[in-house]
Structure 1
Amino acid sequence: MLNRVSSSIWLLGRVLGGFTLLALVAPFVCAVWMSFAPGELLEPPTEEWSVRWYREFFGSAKWTRALRTSAEVAVISVAGSLVGGLGLAVAVTRFHFCGRNLLSSAVLLPMFVPTVVLAMGLLPLVMLAGLQGRAYSLAAAHSLVSLPVVFLLLRNALTGADPDLERAARGLGAGPWTAFRRVTLPLIAPAVLAGAIIAFILSVNEFTFAVFLGTPRARTLPAALWPEARDKDTPLLAAASCVTVLFTLTGMWITARILRRL
């Protein structure tokens, strides 16, 4: 009887998992299908297929500039998130100082504040510094969102890494940086890789900061898609969405390859 119940639960879990996966994949499949429509309407092609909208996307300076801006912002954002998250994680796990718990809590604050509120708060500062529409200001804002996630991943990884191994390396003559790079960093490499990928995904798909802090000549791809989705309803939206997904997957693969070589 118990085995029969366990088999039923296992089968139910498989079915629910299959439906969940289908619900996640179906929108992307529909977008890919509609991106090959030959006409002006946002509908799946039935007989004739065309790459017209992909040619229009890559032939337009507006779209290619937005794609390039997204790439620049994502790369800088990943670097900022990793440097900041790793430094803060090392500080709260390897050192004892007054306010350590307060610092750990403060890093997580951006997770609980609406993005639109953060964007409105950053806008006067960015304008005062004359950095509105710059890749650095957008990347810094994106890093603000991804920093708590990267920090949590690296803090948990450092908590699980035995500090005695690093002390042993120091006792054998290695300097602080060498001991960390040769001993601790390889131990937390999976968490670093996961944090970099998450930061890249969050940056590529972030919309609110791009609207508030961007300019007409410095827009990321999600910000460039918004007027098109609001005013027009063509398969160009589907083509741009597919390019965004492929760009995200390519960036994840490159990030993984780079970090595995470090």
Structure 2
Amino acid sequence: MSYTATNSKARNTTRKLFLWLIIGVLFLPFLPLLIWSFAQDWYFPQLVPQWTLEHWRTLLTASTKVAQGFGQSLAIALLSTGFSLLVGMPAGRALGLMDFPGKGAIKLFLLLPIIVSPLATLMGIQFMLIRLGLSGTLAGVVLVHLLPTIPYMTLVLSSVYANFDPDYEIQARSLGATSFQVLQQVTLPLIAPGVVVGALFAFLISWNEFLLTFFVGSGRVFTLPMVLFTALQGGNTGLTAAIAITSILPALVFLFFSSRALNNDAAIGGLGNV
């Protein structure tokens, strides 16, 4: 018994070390950014730079537009994620649970925005948004961000629903639960892992989107990736590094809470297979 416990403990230790190694490798490229964001000068043969907080002070000034870009990026990412959930949940349920003619074609159609370059469709999308009066508006940018986010959300949730047992819902209804109670107390807890993963993908895609925002926003919708692009052209390495560090913080926070939710044993759904 003790031998088995020792083996299990050793495996857990090895697994944790391996996980921390992967995390270290993934975040290693961000270490130079962190150093440069606090560096005033760093020339050869200096081993360490001269430290300063000037870049972070400049980051907080209105001239850099970081606060404006951060706020608009957050609003767009959250709205895109929310609308993707509204579309992806019923669409994923239909694709995961129902068999109907053309199901394979619909799945292929969902992959088109991911496979095809956005440049191939941007001109037509921009023309339509101009006709609708949405070009250069926050609403127009949110709509165009749905093109890559809805397919990810739908495909993830269809994978979850493929392993979903509707009998749980039927039993709840037979016991007198309303449709809303079934959704809240039965369906959502069962598909929670898929919702979290889909929301994570949607948020990260929208948060880091530059090309679609640049064309559809027409320079009037200023997101954080656009602020970062402007800083790169300015040639201030320290300020650019500080903006880059700022741009990854919300994604890390979202990833942290998503991983906590996925580790919750109460979520008995799963990602399954389509």
Mark yes or no: TM-score above 0.5.
yes
Query: How many Å apart are 1:21 and its aligned residue?
Result: 5.1
Distance in 2, matches of 1:116 and 1:19, equals: 38
Alignment coverage as a number of residue pairs:
246
Measured on the aligned residues, the alpha-carbon RMSD in Å equals 3.1
Which stretch of structure 1 is more off in the superposition, 66-75 or 167-176?
167-176
Of residues 31, 37, 40 in structure 2, which corresponds to 1:38? 40
Distance in 1, matches of 2:20 and 2:53, equals: 31
Distance in 1, matches of 2:180 and 2:101, equals: 24
Asked whether the 8 Å contact 2:38–2:238 carries over to 1, the reply is yes
**What is the DSSP-based 3-state SS (H/G/I as helix, E as strand, rest coil) of the residue aligned with 1:108?**
helix
Q: Which residue of 1 aligns with 2:238?
A: 235
Per-residue deviation, residues 191-238 of structure 1 (Å, max 9, x unmatched): 101111111111111111111111333211112222321342431110
Query: How many Å apart are 1:147 and its aligned residue?
Result: 1.4
Of residues 126, 140, 145 in structure 2, which corresponds to 1:137? 140
Distance of aligned partners of 1:209 and 1:40 in 2 relative to their CA distance in 1, 3 Å threshold: farther
Per-residue deviation, residues 54-88 of structure 1 (Å, max 9, x unmatched): 11111125221111110110110110111111121
Query: How many Å apart are 1:116 and its aligned residue?
Result: 2.3
Query: How many Å apart are 1:124 and its aligned residue?
Result: 1.0
Distance in 2, matches of 1:257 and 1:20, equals: 18
**What is the DSSP-based 3-state SS (H/G/I as helix, E as strand, rest coil) of the residue aligned with 1:38?**
strand
| Structure 1 unaligned spans of 5+ | 1-13
Q: Which residue of 1 aligns with 2:172?
A: 169
Distance in 1, matches of 2:92 and 2:237, equals: 46
Distance of aligned partners of 1:159 and 1:246 in 2 relative to their CA distance in 1, 3 Å threshold: same
Q: Which residue of 2 aligns with 1:72?
A: 75
Q: Which TM-score applies when normalising by structure 1?
A: 0.81
Q: Which residue of 1 aligns with 2:3?
A: none
**Equivalent residue letter for 2:35:** W
Q: Which residue of 1 aligns with 2:30?
A: 28
Of residues 103, 108, 111 in structure 2, which corresponds to 1:105? 108
Distance in 2, matches of 1:177 and 1:94, equals: 20
**Equivalent residue letter for 1:162:** D
Distance in 1, matches of 2:113 and 2:33, equals: 32
Distance of aligned partners of 1:132 and 1:26 in 2 relative to their CA distance in 1, 3 Å threshold: same
Q: Does 1:123 align with 2:126?
A: yes
User: What are the equivalent positions in structure 2 for 1:50-89 lying under 5 Å apart?
Assistant: 50-61=52-63, 62-89=65-92
Distance of aligned partners of 1:15 and 1:168 in 2 relative to their CA distance in 1, 3 Å threshold: closer
Asked whether the 8 Å contact 1:76–1:136 carries over to 2, the reply is no
Distance in 1, matches of 2:18 and 2:233, equals: 35
Query: How many Å apart are 1:177 and its aligned residue?
Result: 3.5
Query: How many Å apart are 1:242 and its aligned residue?
Result: 0.3
Distance in 1, matches of 2:139 and 2:258, equals: 19
Distance of aligned partners of 1:213 and 1:258 in 2 relative to their CA distance in 1, 3 Å threshold: farther
Identity of aligned residues (%): 30
User: What are the equivalent positions in structure 2 for 1:154-193 lying under 5 Å apart?
Assistant: 154-193=157-196
Q: Does 1:195 align with 2:198?
A: yes
Q: Which TM-score applies when normalising by structure 2?
A: 0.78
